[in-house]
Structure 1
């Protein structure tokens, strides 16, 4: 299976070979794990890569439900889904984004941004749909108290844990993609900040993180969709205005929800002990650190947003003022035609008194 048409062959296991064939290498590894499911000897090990581990049966009023804990074996599952994400990344790039970008004839810088936004639009849309389904089915929207009740939330439902595992796999796969996509050195710090921003709620695995990711992903989806429309038509900037309005409202919602759940909800819980073995971090110092982290992240995002908006407005007004200052093209003076004295008659110049002008004698050499 080849995701890209190669016009040039590279030495086996060389740097260029790995870069151009990393999706095929990942597909081969995933295929080996799937083949391991067919044999009884290797099936147990193969399930370790595919399914979430640490399942526990908890008694409920209706019977028993299966929940999942977290532990070191989750790293193996995350590694498997990193390879799955690399394959999906290559499929989207090859069969969707490359075909669209060829028609747009973008520059090298715009082509890189187009690929980035195209990948994130697909990821954010699928994550918003999946996250919204999990939040609704688990009742976190209809019952906001469930965000802090029964803390610590060390036992997670299957779909909650699987969602977090896939989120961690996607953002961890973005790290090697910086090397595979040959991202410029100037862009690497920005990409690393972006990745770390989403790894924190993904690693927390708390119920509040689902709501925060749902709000953030919805805003990011609108932004990258607006950027795709802008690359297709530079006069289309209406979605950017809608994103700017939604961005500010989302920051307020995230801060309000964080203060409500962490500052008030967890503060009223009876269990206020620090016990890392049981996953209990409900102390005043931990709550303040988490709130400070959330507020700092939102302030940083808001500062970047205001800075970029001011820069765009400054560039816009500079362009408008430059257009007004351009002077009108000066009119060229009418060309003066020098007329000889007298008038023309039968092709001969006559003097004003009617006599022909004296011809100028040529000097003999």
Structure 2
């Protein structure tokens, strides 16, 4: 199985060999874990990597219900889906983004797969991106797929768990130690995806100028998702992740459209509205749930065994962390919008200058004379004298 088109072979254990074949190496590790399920001696160890652990079965009016809580064994499950995320990243890169950006590498048999892919290739055949834009194109393509899947998945979880219809359930009966399977699995895969983004900076050969920017939002996602999971704020975290992913999905769609045609600017305006709304909704929800909801809860105090972190100090740290992050994002957004506004004003000024120069040039030509039967005539009707050409 080969994810990358190999134009050149490299020596074993070299950096280029690792970068070129990292998806195949990780795929071999996944197969090795799956083979462990086939034998009784290794099945108990292999299942730690695939299935979420720490399940508890309780009785309810509907029957037996299985809940989950977290523990150190979750690291094995995160590691397995960390490998799966690397494989899926390589699949999207090889079979979607590279095909769109370089349609000439597709063979004749592959062109007849679907009409939609062929149409996408035809639209994007004009792409000639620089290294910086190429990095952003790959980044937006990958994140567009991830944000679309995650936003639909999180919305489905919120809908089935009833958090949207009953907002007070976000803070009532805290601590929310016991999670349903789909909630815990969602958090584990989210942490696995953002952890996989760290080595992908090396595998994708991201430019040094882009590494710091990407490290910032990767670390912020890991910090907020891990904090919501470990502090048993999973319900609030689900709502915030849904809002964030929908907003980011709009941004990356707008950026992909901009790379195909730079005249597509309206999607950025729609994203700007959703971005401001997301920041305001995030701050409102955090103050409502953590500041007021948990603040008025009777279950106050720190209890590590029960998973209760409802203290004034922890609530203040959480609120300050979220407020700092949202303020930083708004500051970057304002700088981005000001830069766009300045570039737009500069472009308008250049257009006005070129528009005023063109009538002056036409006026100068008319003052010299006029054309008659293909010959330039002066104002007195005489033809101008022809200059002799200099010999080379």
TM above 0.5, yes or no, is yes
Q: Deviations over 1:82-106 (max 9, x none)?
A: 1100000000000000011122232
1:157 & 1:281 partners in 2: Cα distance? 20
Alignment-derived partner of residue 32 in structure 1:
32
SS at match of 2:208: coil
- Could you tell me how far 1:323 is from its partner in structure 2? 2.3
1:127 & 1:118 partners in 2: Cα distance? 14
Query: Which stretch of the first structure deviates more once superposed, 97-106 or 303-312?
Result: 97-106
Query: Which stretch of the first structure deviates more once superposed, 283-292 or 217-226?
Result: 283-292
- Could you tell me how far 1:308 is from its partner in structure 2? 0.2
2:42 & 2:377 partners in 1: Cα distance? 101
Query: Which stretch of the first structure deviates more once superposed, 34-43 or 307-316?
Result: 34-43
Shift in CA distance, 128/337, structure 1 to aligned 2, threshold 3 Å: closer
Alignment-derived partner of residue 16 in structure 1:
16
Alignment-derived partner of residue 243 in structure 1:
271
Are 1:67 and 1:156, in contact at CA under 8 Å, matched by a contact in 2? Answer: yes
SS at match of 2:165: coil
Alignment-derived partner of residue 390 in structure 2:
none
- How many equivalent pairs are there? 338
Alignment-derived partner of residue 343 in structure 1:
none
Q: Deviations over 1:201-225 (max 9, x none)?
A: 3212221000000000000001100
SS at match of 2:368: coil
Shift in CA distance, 337/162, structure 1 to aligned 2, threshold 3 Å: closer
Alignment-derived partner of residue 111 in structure 2:
none
Residue 160 (structure 2) pairs with residue 137 (structure 1): yes
Shift in CA distance, 337/318, structure 1 to aligned 2, threshold 3 Å: closer
Moved over 4 A (4+): 335-338
1:155 & 1:289 partners in 2: Cα distance? 24
Alignment-derived partner of residue 311 in structure 1:
339
Residue 57 (structure 2) pairs with residue 57 (structure 1): yes
Instruction: Show the 5 A alignment for 1:249-328.
Output: 249-326=277-354, 327-328=357-358
Alignment-derived partner of residue 344 in structure 1:
none
Alignment-derived partner of residue 183 in structure 2:
160
Alignment-derived partner of residue 120 in structure 2:
none
1:237 & 1:319 partners in 2: Cα distance? 14
1:16 & 1:219 partners in 2: Cα distance? 36
Are 1:68 and 1:161, in contact at CA under 8 Å, matched by a contact in 2? Answer: yes
Alignment-derived partner of residue 140 in structure 2:
117
2:79 & 2:60 partners in 1: Cα distance? 33
TM-score, normalised with respect to structure 2: 0.83
- Could you tell me how far 1:127 is from its partner in structure 2? 0.2
- Could you tell me how far 1:276 is from its partner in structure 2? 2.5
Residue 128 (structure 2) pairs with residue 105 (structure 1): yes
Are 1:57 and 1:66, in contact at CA under 8 Å, matched by a contact in 2? Answer: yes
Alignment-derived partner of residue 173 in structure 1:
196
The one of 215, 225, 232 aligned to 2:253: 225
Shift in CA distance, 322/170, structure 1 to aligned 2, threshold 3 Å: same
SS at match of 2:67: strand
Give structure 1 stretches of 5+ with no counterpart.
339-365
Residue 362 (structure 2) pairs with residue 334 (structure 1): no
- Could you tell me how far 1:54 is from its partner in structure 2? 0.9
1:61 & 1:322 partners in 2: Cα distance? 72
Alignment-derived partner of residue 358 in structure 1:
none
SS at match of 1:59: strand
SS at match of 2:164: coil
SS at match of 2:209: coil
- Could you tell me how far 1:337 is from its partner in structure 2? 9.9
Alignment-derived partner of residue 4 in structure 2:
4
2:246 & 2:352 partners in 1: Cα distance? 40
1:42 & 1:66 partners in 2: Cα distance? 25
Are 1:101 and 1:111, in contact at CA under 8 Å, matched by a contact in 2? Answer: no
Alignment-derived partner of residue 345 in structure 1:
none
SS at match of 1:58: strand
SS at match of 1:46: helix
Query: Which stretch of the first structure deviates more once superposed, 318-327 or 13-22?
Result: 318-327
